[in-house]
Amino acid sequence: MKNLKSITTAIILVCALMFSSCSKEFDEYSLNSNQPISVSPDLILRGVLNSLPVFPNSDEERWSQYTCRNYTYYGDNRYWTGAANLSYGTLNNIVAMETEAKKRTGSDLNVYSALSKYLRAYLFINMTLKVGDLPMTEALKKLANQKPKYDNQKQIFIQSFQLLEEANSQLASLISKSDVSLQGDIFYVERSSGAKSPLEALKSWQKVVNTFRLRSLIQLSNKSADGELKVKQQFNDIVSNPSKYPIMTSNSDNLEFVYNAVNNKYPDNKESFGFDALRFNLSATWVNNLASLNDIRVMKVAEPARGLGFSDTSFKSFVGAPSGIDLSTMAAGVQAGKFSLYNRKRYYDGFTAENTALLSYAEMCLNIAEGINRGWTSGSAEDWYTKGVKASFSFYGINDGDNTITFQRQGASILADYVNYTYKFNFNNYFSQPSVKYAGDGVNGLNQILIQKYVAMGRNSGLEGYYQWRRTGVPAFSQGTGSSASGKIPFRFQYPSSELSTNGENVKAAIQSQFGGADDIFAKLWLNN
């Protein structure tokens, strides 16, 4: 038995050795060497900015009734029946960017923290426009607060305006110090064409902050009398003090996504033409409004509907499909050439069609016109109205005089078989039409502003076209079985269903206080009441 004892000893020795001697090796082995646990803030900013745009050929542009699908396989034109995509994940990246920037600069005042204030406001306002109340004060605390309480919509706006105020003053202070540290800015510094220097970019961002604030105040047009929100006062402060609150001054200030032919292709391009050729068409809400104004922009974005039998450059050839009709009827119309398709040259000829604005100078001008029309500030609504429309013309490259219009040749059997027309377009004639000539501050003038703003936001600016309809009813949207099973257009998105299981008490309280207990997509948000 002596040997047994020795063997037992040996085994115990082995075990002891094994479990004591190598914790350092174990620690090394348990690390993941494939991913970093800290990165510089510009990398995060790049990811954040890239997640902001609503790209064209999306459901959002169909819900805003700019374009339509007519082919069931790839979807339809129905509005949502479910929940919103919220941006808390992106906000979490913004929090990380602030942390990494502070870690590296040692200061609370840096380009990333200034941009993060803007980005927070931008995302919270976009989210509340989708669903209503949402956690803001208690949000983004990760495990420290796993069940954040909901802030009401008004509080979200108040806090967001505060953030925009701070973003404006931080950017002003960085600009005054000629800070050139901004990197990772794909919208201005790194864009594929028309790039700006970091300092110029900061100046553009400051304009973006105040331009966005104007848009957000316009969103609250039904709440302009609210004493806490001070909508009119804020609006007036910004418009009347451009040195403190610089705003956009031309299309080159646009906050927009610029495409390139290799890595970031416009979603409609010559490689996708064969999929889309007859399957997407333009919506009546966009095309018919443009055509009724004898507006040359329609020839830039649409093909003539040759099945109707008018000449290619007749405005009668430009007819969109009502977004609310059923898909089969729309498909029949498209097969018969009764509805306008996307302009082939503009959207399919290459890879970069047009820049996609998140926030544009044209919209801003028309927002200011709307504010003046509503009596929020002084100035000439007509001037701003004209500036806005001309900015949109400029975006489409429309000249006062001869313009080249390009369509696909009738009966062409390849994409690039085009026919060109020279079309004379006179700005004065355009603006002197009764339908375009500003009718003065009042309902008619307001409708003109809203129609022009709607058409200028075609295929860009996310859901703004839809939000304007929801807020003002202008332009009239097409409703029918193509919109939803009930034919109606919803007014909001549901809360994510995961909120019911993970934060049930708070989401239920928010649903109760806003909508009386049902998370109903046809219920109206506070700001639309």
Partner 1 sequence: MKMLTSKWVFTLLLMLGMAMPYLAGAQRTISGKIMAAENGQAISGASILIKGTKTGTMSTPEGLFSINAKEGDVIVISGVGIKTLDYKITGTGLQVITVDANTKDLNEVVVTGLGIKKETKRLGYAVQEIKGSDLVKAREPNPINSLVGKVAGLQVNVNQELLGAPAVSLRGSNISLYVVDGMPINSDTWNLSPDDIESYTILKGLAATAIYGSRAQNGAIIITTKRGSKNKKGYSVEFNSSTQVNKGFIALPRTQDLYGGGDYSEYAFGDGKGGGINDGDYDVWGPKFNGQLVPQYDSPIDPITGKRTGTPFVARGKDNLKRFLQAGLLTTNNLSFSSTTDRSSIRMSMSQSYQKGIVPNTKLNTANFNVSASYDLTKNLKLEGSLNYNHQFTPNFPDVNYGPNSIIYNITIWTGADWDVQSPDIKGVWQPGRVGTQSIFAEYQRYHNPWFMSNYWLRGHYKNDVYGTLGMTYKINKDFEAVVRTNVSTFDVLRSEKMPYSAHPYGREGGRGDYREDRRGLFDNNVEGILKFKKSLPGGINIDAIAGGNLRNFSYNSTYVTTDYLNVPGLYSFGNSLNPVKAYSYTANMLVLSNYYSASIDFNKYFSLTGSARIDKHSAQPSNNNSYFYPSVSGATVISDYVKMPSFVSFLKLRGSFALAKSPSTTPYIGVPPGTPLPYGSNYVSTYGGPTYALASPAYSIGSVYNNLTGAYAPSSALDSNTQVSKTSSREAGLDIKFLKNRLGFSATAFSNILGPSIRNYPISQTTGISGYTTNAIKTQVTGLELSLQGTPIQQKDLSWNVLVNWSTFKEVYKDLPSNFESYQFKQGDRVDKLYGTLIARTPDGKMINDANGYPIMLPKAQYLGNADVKFSWSIYNRVTYKSLSVGFQFDGMVGGYIQDYVKRKGVEGGRDISTVQGKIGEAREYEFLNFKTPGYAGYYVGDGVQISNGVGAKFDPVTGVITNMNDLQFKQNASKVNWIQDYVSYVFNKPEYTSIAKTYGKLREVVITYSLPQKMLDKSFISKIDISLVGRNLLYFFPKEFKDLDVDQYSGRTIYSGNNRENGLQTPTTRSYGLNINLTF
Under rule CB under 8 A, which residues in 441-480 are in contact with partner 1? none
Stretch that binds partner 1, among 264-272, 286-294, 365-373, 457-465 (CB under 8 A): 264-272
Task: Look at the alpha carbons of 268, 274, 276, 278 in this order and tell me if their dihedral is positive or negative.
Answer: positive
The residues in 417-446 that bind partner 1, with binding defined as CB under 8 A, are: 417
Question: Does residue 135 touch partner 1 according to CB under 8 A?
Answer: yes
Q: Which is nearer to partner 1, 87 or 468 (CB)?
A: 87
Q: Which is nearer to partner 1, 266 or 315 (CB)?
A: 266
Query: How many CA atoms lie less than 13 Å away from 115 in the CB half-sphere?
Result: 29
Smallest gap from Cβ 20 to partner 1, in A, equals 10
Which of 262, 428, 434, 529 binds partner 1 (CB under 8 A)? It is: 262
The whole-angstrom separation of Cα 339 and Cα 341 is: 6
Mark 64-103 with x for binding to partner 1 (rule: CB under 8 A) and - for no binding. Answer: -------xxx-------xx---x-xx-xxx-xx-------
Smallest gap from Cβ 4 to partner 1, in A, equals 7
Smallest gap from Cβ 411 to partner 1, in A, equals 8
Q: Which is nearer to partner 1, 337 or 379 (CB)?
A: 337
Which of 56, 132, 184, 371 binds partner 1 (CB under 8 A)? It is: 184
Question: Does residue 264 touch partner 1 according to CB under 8 A?
Answer: yes
Contact between 291 and 314 (Cβ < 8 Å):
no
- Cα distances (angstroms) measured from residue 273 to each of 29, 229, 407, 444: 50, 48, 15, 40
Contact between 48 and 100 (Cβ < 8 Å):
no
Smallest gap from Cβ 192 to partner 1, in A, equals 6
Question: Does residue 109 touch partner 1 according to CB under 8 A?
Answer: no
Contact between 65 and 283 (Cβ < 8 Å):
yes
The residues in 236-255 that bind partner 1, with binding defined as CB under 8 A, are: none
Stretch that binds partner 1, among 170-178, 184-192, 229-237, 286-294 (CB under 8 A): 184-192
Nearest to 453 by CA among 377, 365, 382: 365
Q: Which is nearer to partner 1, 152 or 447 (CB)?
A: 152
Question: Does residue 177 touch partner 1 according to CB under 8 A?
Answer: no
Task: Look at the alpha carbons of 374, 443, 451, 524 in this order and tell me if their dihedral is positive or negative.
Answer: positive
The whole-angstrom separation of Cα 518 and Cα 514 is: 9
Give start and end residues of each alpha helix (H) in 41-110.
41-50, 59-63, 88-105
Smallest gap from Cβ 424 to partner 1, in A, equals 31
The residues in 349-408 that bind partner 1, with binding defined as CB under 8 A, are: none
Q: Which is nearer to partner 1, 178 or 413 (CB)?
A: 413
Question: Does residue 332 touch partner 1 according to CB under 8 A?
Answer: yes
Give start and end residues of each alpha helix (H) in 177-283.
198-219, 231-240, 273-276
Which of 66, 105, 363, 481 binds partner 1 (CB under 8 A)? It is: 481
Question: Does residue 15 touch partner 1 according to CB under 8 A?
Answer: yes
The whole-angstrom separation of Cα 235 and Cα 247 is: 12
The whole-angstrom separation of Cα 205 and Cα 255 is: 8
The secondary element (H helix, E strand) that includes residue 69 is strand 67-69
The residues in 48-67 that bind partner 1, with binding defined as CB under 8 A, are: 50
* 280-282 and 255-257 strand pairing: unpaired
The residues in 197-226 that bind partner 1, with binding defined as CB under 8 A, are: none
Contact between 346 and 300 (Cβ < 8 Å):
yes
Question: Does residue 186 touch partner 1 according to CB under 8 A?
Answer: yes
The residues in 491-520 that bind partner 1, with binding defined as CB under 8 A, are: 494, 496-504, 518-520
Stretch that binds partner 1, among 17-25, 227-235, 388-396, 419-427 (CB under 8 A): 17-25
Which of 60, 115, 133, 148 binds partner 1 (CB under 8 A)? It is: 148
Paired tokens of 54:
């609503």
Phi/psi region, residue 65 (left: phi>0; alpha: psi -120 to 50; beta: rest), is left
Cβ neighbourhood burial of 332 (10 Å; 0-12, 13-18, 19+): middle
Smallest gap from Cβ 322 to partner 1, in A, equals 14
Q: Which is nearer to partner 1, 18 or 225 (CB)?
A: 18
Residue 38 three-state SS: coil
Question: Does residue 413 touch partner 1 according to CB under 8 A?
Answer: yes
Question: Does residue 44 touch partner 1 according to CB under 8 A?
Answer: yes
> DSSP letters of 372-435?
HHTTSS-S-HHHHHHHHHHHHHHHTT--SEEEEEEEEPTT-SSTT-EEEEEEEE-HHHHHHSTT
Question: Does residue 529 touch partner 1 according to CB under 8 A?
Answer: no
The secondary element (H helix, E strand) that includes residue 528 is none
Question: Does residue 147 touch partner 1 according to CB under 8 A?
Answer: yes
Smallest gap from Cβ 99 to partner 1, in A, equals 9
Torsion of CA 476, 481, 487, 491, to 10 degrees: -70
Q: Which is nearer to partner 1, 104 or 437 (CB)?
A: 104
Which of 32, 107, 178, 428 binds partner 1 (CB under 8 A)? It is: 32
Stretch that binds partner 1, among 32-40, 165-173, 205-213, 221-229 (CB under 8 A): 32-40
The whole-angstrom separation of Cα 491 and Cα 467 is: 9
Place of tokens 């089969």: 328
Burial 360-372 (b: 16+ CB within 10 A, else e): bbbbbbbbbbbbb
Q: Which is nearer to partner 1, 181 or 394 (CB)?
A: 181
The secondary element (H helix, E strand) that includes residue 381 is helix 381-395
Which of 141, 244, 316, 424 binds partner 1 (CB under 8 A)? It is: 141
Strand intervals (E) in 440-516: none
Stretch that binds partner 1, among 10-18, 168-176, 230-238, 468-476 (CB under 8 A): 10-18
